[in-house]
Amino acid sequence: MKAPPALSVIGWSGSGKTTLVERLVPELHSRGLRVGVVKHSSDHHPLHRTGSDTARFEQSGAALVAFATPAGVQLSVREEPEQVLLPLLERFGDRVDLVLVEGWKDGPLPKLEVWREGHGPLLASTRSDVLAVVTDAPRLPEGSPEGLQRFGTAELQGLAVFITRLAREQAHEP
């Protein structure tokens, strides 16, 4: 099975990535897309609560640890996201039409940048894989790439149309 189209939502801490993804999921769903979401973090933090059974299994050297409840299953493996994430998404390609990855600035996916003045420089200025910028700023900073698609933070419907079109184009690529 082919992996579903995926898009990283990148930006500096506090720029509004989580809020945007949270708002986009129902908007994209209303357009007929089944959306999966992955949270990527570059910070090292434990995947299991200290002292929990799953943390103890992980510390024992288990190759993978799963936590299963009636609400679902959470699986963790000690591998780099590049080695696991894309093949895992491929496994679930029949369940989702699009995957939004919050974060993963250096990952291989096309990117949507959330940019807010005062939170750091525009990442799109140095990255050719940023397709569009979402911002509450009246304009992008000097030196921004020409022709870069820009959406205001309130333009959720226009952004959803843009993402839906990208997802459908990616789904039809060989």
Average pLDDT on 109-119 reads 95
Write down the residue that tokens 């990442």 correspond to.
123
- Amino acid 86: pLDDT: 77
Give pLDDT, residue 137.
Answer: 94
SS3 at position 150: strand
Greatest C-alpha distance within the chain: 53
Question: Which of 166, 127, 132 lies closest to 148 in space, CA to CA?
Answer: 132
Q: Looking at residues 126-140, what average pLDDT do you find? A: 94
* pLDDT category of residue 45 using cuts at 50, 70 and 90: low
Most confident of 64-68, 85-89, 107-111, 169-173: 107-111
Query: What was the pLDDT predicted at 44?
Result: 66
CA torsion, ordered 166, 167, 168, 172, to nearest 10 deg: 100
Per DSSP bridges, beta strands 130-135 and 111-115 are: parallel
Comparison of pLDDT for 75 and 106, the residue scoring more: 106
| CATH number assigned to the domain covering 6-44+79-171 | 3.40.50.300
Q: Are strands 98-102 and 111-115 parallel, antiparallel or unpaired?
A: unpaired
Q: How far apart are CA 112 and CA 88, in angstroms?
A: 22
For the chain, domain boundaries? 6-44+79-171
- Burial of 53 (C-beta count, 10 Å sphere; 0-12/13-18/19+): exposed
Helix (H) / strand (E) element for 131: namely strand 130-135
Tokens of 54: 């799953």
Mean pLDDT of 115-131: 94
Report the predicted TM-score, pTM, of the whole model to 2 decimal places.
0.87
pLDDT at residue 98 in the model: 93
Share the mean pLDDT of the chain.
89
Residue 80: is its pLDDT beyond 80?
A: no
d(CA 133, CA 162): 12
pLDDT for res 103: 92
Residue linked to tokens 């979401």: 37
At 147, the pLDDT band (50, 70, 90 cuts) reads: confident
